[in-house]
Structure 1
Amino acid sequence: MPRGRHRQSPPLHRLLPPLSVAAASITCAAGAWLVGDTVVIRGLAATAATAAVVGSVLTRRWDRAAGRRVAEAASETARQEMKYEERIAELEADAEKAAELRTALNTRLRAKRAELARLRNEHAELLRRYATAETERASALEGRRRLALEAAVPSKELTAGEPSGETVADAESAESAESVGDGLDLSAYARADEALSRLVASARQQRERAEAESRALAAEQEKAEAEAREQEKAEATDSKAGRTAADPDEDGAAVPGKRPAADERDGPDSSPVPPPHARTAASAVVPYAAARRAASRSESGFDYFGTQKNPPKQQEPEPEAEEDLADVIGAETLAETRKGAVGEVIDLTAHEENEPIGIEELRSAIS
């Protein structure tokens, strides 16, 4: 401990005044009980009262000091709280700024990534274009090489025949170039290039001429084939008409004034043949009868939906002496159709889902 200082401890220094006051008060009170003299008792009472006053003063001072310390502590606490709140506000502001900066950086990062992806796509597109250009260039070089080879072949063939004026000029230029020697000038190269271009042009003209001749020959062949097909169709139609006309004579039931039923159905005056994609009316295969010929029925001109553009021609009425019951029913139907009693009647037979049957082919197969 340094010199010049009291050797008591700070706690003892703080407790010395109150202890002194308390000891004086207790001593005076005890003396008042023990001493019998009135003057002494009065002095002890006065001393005790003084000690009490001093104690109250000390207590008040301590109270004020304690209140001051409490106020200082409260103010310090308030200051610290304010500092802490300010610091918290600053940190929150910094956090908000950091969040905004992070959002901006994320936006820029996404933009950079999109730009990078676009650049990669452009780079890939450029690579594809470069590859395509290289492929086209290689194809062009290969085509030029083939054209040069094709042009070289006709040039050898042309030298075997009679030389033309251009060939003679080329030969003379070649001989003059050979007479000069190895030191060929640019004019010789130019003449050689011109001769090669003429050879290429002549080869192209020959190819075009050959293609034109082949096309003309193909057109003539197609025309001849079409004529042959038409002639075959005409012959087949004539043969069918002949067979149909000969059938009643073979059965022995034909009458001179009566048209055969097959001729009426299959002849040129019958209803128009429906298109290949349309379906014709169903018809049953009837075997030949020995004593009775087939009933002469004409196909109706029904067209329910109006799809047949060329209506069938009306047939001439047959003699009444040769009509049986079926012929009478057919004639009545035709008469009503001619009178127009029922209005416009449309045939649905072309729209039925039946397969077309070739009657003539079946009859020829049976016979």
Structure 2
Amino acid sequence: MHTPPSFDLAICGAGPVGMALAALLVQRGVSSSGIALVDAKSIEQARRDPRTIALSYGSRQILEEAGAWPVAATPIHEIHVSRRGRFGRSLMERSEHGVDALGYVARYGDVVAVLSELCQRLGIATLRPALVTGSAEDGDGVSVALEQNGVVSDIRAQLLVQAEGGLFGQQLERAVSRDYGQSAIISWVTVDAPVAHRAYERFTDDGPLALLPQDDGYALVWCVPPTRAEQLLALDDGAFLARLGDAFGGRLGRFTHTTARLAYPLGLNAQAPGTARTVAIGNAAQTLHPVAGQGLNLGLRDAAVLARVLAQDSSPAGLIQYAKLRQADRGTTVRVTDTMARIFTGSAPLQGVLGLSLGVLDMINPARKSLAQLMMYGRR
């Protein structure tokens, strides 16, 4: 009779959050032989992923604890927040918080490469490419069904962590779900008057527009209604850059170059169900609007807390404790992000309140510092 390989913990999803969890557990004394990472993509596919991710200063600390820092990244020293064509703006600076940077801008593939090499050095078993086709829980553990190169197999684990989230619109609906009626256009652009290490969050009539400093240009995240996204994707580069300049304004001069553009739907999908032996973290637990750049950072905080708990108690009781510990930070971050997303994509009166709020925020130093602390570290 076939006996499947057995592990203490199976982590489905070997992206930054899943691999960070595995590395953090080993750094806290958990045996690497008891951990299995499973992912549907090959490591070569993951390394080639060109997506840009924003890492908070708190996420840098988590990656440092895991042994996965430094990574190739551009530091953010300032964040400029404003409303296009309206009164009000706010400027957050690293000097107010005594940190080297408010955050960092990196490529997904670069972060994955560092974490993958770390997990390999630590001796953590990684099954990829391996598609998870199902799981079944019983009183003794969880059976995870896999398909690798057309071959069906399974593994056993005492606990299962779901860390593979996917995009909004491709997920099963969770307890808290909202479609914002927006798509995010992403690309990398250059300008003729850049400001080094300054990120921009610009609120337009269509939705938020973020420019994150990266190398000698900017990673673009432009949130617009789906029909508007289709129109913008259909434009040639010159026409697209002209529309982008109209939306953002002249703070950085003229937009001069763009890479190929992609778009994906935006929504809130949170509070994934769990069982006695299964827990979801990262995007598998909560998919957020990118307006505050909190998705990956919240996921890394999930990983940090879960590693701390499981290093002490790797039983189902540990998962209960983990859920209690994450309730405040998750709840606050989801509410703040959802509120911001709805205001920034809302009606003209709400947009007017936004401009006034930005002006007030910049005048009240404690309020600005509190918001920045939440974005850097979550609710502590």
Superposed pair shares fold, TM > 0.5: no
Higher relative contact order (CA 8 A, sep 6+): 2
Structure with higher helix content? 1
User: TM-score range with shorter-chain normalisation?
Assistant: under 0.3
**What's the TM-score, normalizing by structure 1?**
0.17
